[in-house]
Structure 1
Amino acid sequence: MLIAMAIAIVSFHQPPILPLESFLFQVELRFPKLIGAEAERLAVTAKRRAKQGAFDPQITLGTESLRYNSASTRGKASAGVSNELGIEVATPQGLKLATGRSWNAGSVKSPDSATGSDGSYFLYAKLPLARGGGINEKLVGLAQARLAEPAATLNLAGLRQNTLLEASLTYFEWSGAVQKLQIARKLLDVGIFRATGLQKELAKGLQAAITLTEAEAEVERRRANFIKAQRDLDKATLKLSKFTWDGSDLFKLSPAPLRQPELLAESALAEALQRARDLRPELQLIALQTESTRLEGKLAQNDLRPAVDLVFSPSADLGNKSVGGAYKFGVTASIPLYQNDARGRREEALQKEQKFTREAELLQRTIELEVRDANSAIQRSQERFIAAQERYAKTKKVEEGELKLFQAGLGTLFLVNQREQATAEAGSLLIDIQVEYEQAQAAFLAASMSF
């Protein structure tokens, strides 16, 4: 039975390797969250286009037929027809422009509507001199929509870095679990092989029954550890499957080997810090949010001013009974008695700007610490790996020596098992350090926007 199990375990073959680069490429190409973020970015562009619609030219057309009791000929019905066709547009600076033609027939009700037989051709301009001049709600809405476009692009860039980082960390967990399973498998193979040999020696009367019992107990302990390592691998594989959307079956693939830790170049930290300051989307997002808030503050400040609008509309009246040149000129004013709305919005914008300033200061420090922390993790993992390598070499040497003593009848199986377990633990520690190193490298890349 033990020999059959050993053959089943040894028959394991190496599946195809899934390189990290290929894996991350598929994540970037197919991960739903990234695809959704791209759709959201396009939606922001569509919203900006909608805000531009506030300044689209408009064609106006109106016609009106009247039958009424005229004040000048009371008791006698009067009738008239009024028509108007024009084009009007509002500019982002608040200026409203229009041009068109009006023509009326019959007894029009209002003297202002009278035109010659060929109608009246007019221009119209309304210019805000105070409130709404240079800045207005529609202009701020469009400006904020334009700021939202680079903000959406930055959000996508940040999400990409975070997604690739999470995927990389999970990939290395998977890689470590694969290698730990190999150690557990090898340890179990050795235990089964030794128990099989002792069984044969017992049949020849060369070993005590208690020694075989101890060997078989050790096999069962190692089998339990092997099953635990298999479960850890299953867990890591399923966790990694969250990022595979190309139909890959990770249970039929294996990761690339973990690298031995190496120190970064001396200039790498300074370059990473500068790159993080220049490219980290969080800092740029804070700047865009601050600019958007400043626009709100400027609008609120402008709304504290009275509404004073200048209206000028020259026209040419043509045809029979026309008067030739005509015009309309006037000024309208509106002065609010209370300004709680504008004052409150202005104060809110000022406080938000202060908040963003402090957040930017904290974010700069946080980003710098993230880069330095990842660099420290890389350096310490390299130092730990050297120490762990030395430990592994010595435990392996002790294991080999203990096995020779046992084979010479000078040692015990218990000590052999203990030495083999110590070697396996030292090997697992090397794998843990390699995983930490790879994850620190991934964190360093993400912190410096280098994915």
Structure 2
Amino acid sequence: MQLKIKNNITILLVLLSICMFNYSFGQNTVFTYDEYLGFVKKFHPLVKIANLEISQAQANLLQARGAFDPKIEADFNSKNFKGNSYYSIFNGTFKIPTWYGIELKAAFENNEGLYLNPEQSLPNSGLTSVGITIPVLQGLVINQRMADLRKAKSQIKLSQAEQKMQAIEVLYEASLAYFNWKKNYDEVKLYEAYLKNAEIRLNGVQKLIEQGDKPAIDSVEAGITLKNRQLNLEESRFKLLKSKLELANFLWTTDNLPLELDDQLVPDVSLQESISASLKTNGLQLSNFSLDNHPKINALETKIELLSIDKKLKANMLLPKLDVGYSYISEPTYFSNYRFQDNKIGINAYFPIFLRKERGALKLAKQKIQAQEFELSLAKIQLTNKVKAQQNEINTVAKQKNIISELVAANTALLNAEEKLFNAGESSLFLINTRENNLVSAQLNKISIENRFLQSHVELFKTLANPD
């Protein structure tokens, strides 16, 4: 009977050592990485804020276009005193600003009164006019409202690039949270399996002690191992809970309400096989990588565009200001009889002698463009080198994964062999625990390297900056 019990314990320990890593989720539901990223892209507040920035840029564009809207102006002044009408002055104007600083204008004036300024005396029916104002030098090629409109259009491109960078940063941080959750989950499952192993071993040793086949000190050794496994499991469960809370920071609903991660949800244990496809970091995707479409490069190029518009405006300020206006005037009833000698002509000239303010502003604008161009050149080199470095890291970590898997397999074989020797009475529980601790360390290293493998992919994803 004793031999039968001893054989049953031996078979149980051998089966346990072979099967202890075949985890079963039971009723748990896998929360895949792709589903998780879908939630983040669609509902995360920072992604929504980035979308709002584009809307603000579009509103700025609409506001800049408003500078070219037609305008109606009217001015009326009247004075009556002791029954006398001193004056009544009305002036109505319709203006149409155009792209090249040219302004079209139509006006109607009607003035009367006993004490009207002779300069403002008009026919009884009033006076109409149609004219044009042209900035001959300064303001013709570019002016403030033209510059504002061009900058507003460029600002939309800048907002789109910055939105992509903001989305990339959010997805990067969210991915790290998911990987950390998976790492802690794997550690919990690892310690749960080894805790169960320690409990079975302690029960088996206690029965062997009762039968007189093992010394009583072995139960102390097995008990210490059990307590260590319990401590390890509690620590790993605490880290898992913390990582779940960190992961929940990236989960929101359509109504901007935060979500809590259900306890039945578990990470995707096969994520290593699909990570490159999920993040588009495989070789096929990398072959289509181009700096021309990179949001950071696009943002820097757009900033240079904005500065170039400022530089053109500052350069235009060096020209003399010379506005020439011509208006054809006529009484309303005689407007069909053209008499171009009936007109108003105006010339407005302005030119600072030293131009120190304008020359200083232009010099600063050129220096800002030069600094931005240096930053653009540096960013292109850094991105190119970083992509190569991340590819090398992925390849290196992939090799480390293969090595650590071989180490786990070797340590598993040593543990199994040591248990057979123990059951044959040729080994000790201390040696079994030593072998098992080595195996635990190797499997923890395996989990850590797998996590680094995932992180290296998301680092490459961040560098490529393609959130779509």
- Structure 2 length as normaliser, TM-score? 0.86
- Counterpart in 2 of 1:290? 304
What is the rounded CA distance, in whole Å, between the counterparts of 1:275 and 1:11 in structure 2?
40
Amino acid at match of 1:238: L
Q: Identify the range of structure 1 (60-69 vs 406-415) with the bigger mean alpha-carbon deviation.
A: 60-69
Query: Which stretch has the larger CA shift, 107-116 or 94-103?
Result: 107-116
Shift of 1:341: 1.8
Query: How many corresponding residue pairs?
Result: 433
The answer to whether residue 145 in structure 2 is matched with residue 131 in structure 1 is no
Displacement after TM superposition at 1:447 (Å): 2.4
Between the aligned partners of 1:271 and 1:241, the Cα distance in structure 2 is 30
1:425 alignment counterpart: 441
Name the CA distance, whole Å, in 2 between partners of 1:164 and 1:264. Answer: 15
Deviating more after overlay: 423-432 vs 200-209:
200-209
2:51 is aligned to 38
Equivalences for 1:168-247 in 2 at 5 Å?
Answer: 168-246=175-253, 247=259
Q: Which AA in structure 2 matches 1:296?
A: D
Q: What pairs up with 1:93-132 in 2 under 5 angstroms?
A: 93-107=100-114, 109-132=116-139
Aligned match for 1:57, one of 70, 84, 97 = 70
Tell me what 1:304 maps to: 318
2:33/2:271 contact within 8 Å kept: no
Whether the aligned pair in 2 keeps the contact of 1:258 and 1:434 (CA below 8 Å) is: no
Partner of 1:341: 357
Alignment correspondent of 1:362:
378
Give me the whole-angstrom Cα distance separating, in 2, the residues matched to 1:43 and 1:335: 37
Q: Distance in 2 between matches of 1:263 and 1:333?
A: 68
Letter in 2 for 1:361: S
Pair 297,53 (structure 1): closer, same or farther in 2 beyond 3 Å = same
Deviation at 1:169, TM superposition (A): 2.2
Letter aligned with residue 55 of structure 1 = F
Conserved 8 A contact 1:296-1:345 = no
Assess if the C-alpha contact under 8 Å between 1:104 and 1:119 holds in 2.
yes
Quote the offset at 1:439 in angstroms. Answer: 2.1
Alignment partner, residue 328 of structure 1:
344
Q: Are 2:461 and 1:445 equivalent residues in the alignment?
A: yes
Q: How does 1:260-271 map to 2 (within 5 A)?
A: 260=272
Distance 2:270 2:455 in 1: 11
Q: Which amino acid aligns with 1:307?
A: K
The secondary structure found in structure 1 opposite 2:354 is coil
1:261 deviation in Å?
Answer: 6.5
2: distance between equivalents of 1:399 and 1:104? 110
Q: Distance in 2 between matches of 1:28 and 1:48?
A: 27
Task: State the distance in 2 between where 1:381 and 1:250 align.
Answer: 32
Q: Is the 1:116–1:319 Cα contact (8 Å) retained in structure 2?
A: no
Aligned to 1:243, what secondary structure does the other structure show?
A: coil
Do the aligned partners of residues 85 and 389 (structure 1) sit closer, same or farther apart at CA in structure 2, a change above 3 Å counting?
A: same
CA RMSD of aligned residues (A): 2.7
Partner of 1:88: 95
- State the secondary structure of the residue aligned to 2:28: coil
Q: Please tell me whether the aligned partners of residues 263 and 379 of structure 1 are also in contact (alpha carbons under 8 angstroms).
A: no
Q: CA-to-partner distance for each residue in 1:342-367, whole Å, 9 max, x for gaps?
A: 11111111111111111111100111
Counterpart of 1:339 in structure 2: which amino acid? L
- Once residues 40 and 227 of structure 2 are traced to their aligned partners in structure 1, the CA distance between those partners, rounded to angstroms, is 40
Q: Which amino acid in 1 is paired with 2:29?
A: P
**In structure 1, the residue corresponding to 2:249 is in which secondary structure?**
helix
Alignment partner of 2:263: what SS?
A: helix
Kindly indicate whether the alpha-carbon contact (under 8 Å) linking 1:261 and 1:381 is maintained by their aligned counterparts in 2: no
Farther-moved stretch of structure 1 (192-201 vs 12-21):
12-21
Aligned equivalents of 1:261, 1:182: Cα separation in 2:
20
For residue 402 of structure 1, report the CA deviation from its aligned partner. 0.5
Q: Aligned pair in 2 of structure 1 residues 262, 114: CA closer, same or farther (>3 Å)? A: closer
Shift of 1:114: 2.2
1:216-260: CA deviations, max 9, x gaps? 011111111111211221222122111111435243310111345
SS for the counterpart of 2:289 is: helix
Structure 1 residue 105, shift from structure 2 partner: 2.7
Q: In the aligned structure 2, how far is the partner of 1:263 from the partner of 1:328?
A: 75
CA contact (8 A) 1:117 1:318 kept: no
| Partner of residue 351 from structure 1, selected from 355, 367, 371 | 367
The residue identity in structure 2 corresponding to 1:302 is N
Q: Is the 8 A contact 2:324 2:347 kept in 1?
A: yes
Contact 2:95–2:105 (CA<8 Å) still a contact in 1?
Answer: yes
User: 1:47 is matched with which residue?
Assistant: 60
Any idea what SS the aligned residue of 1:107 has? coil
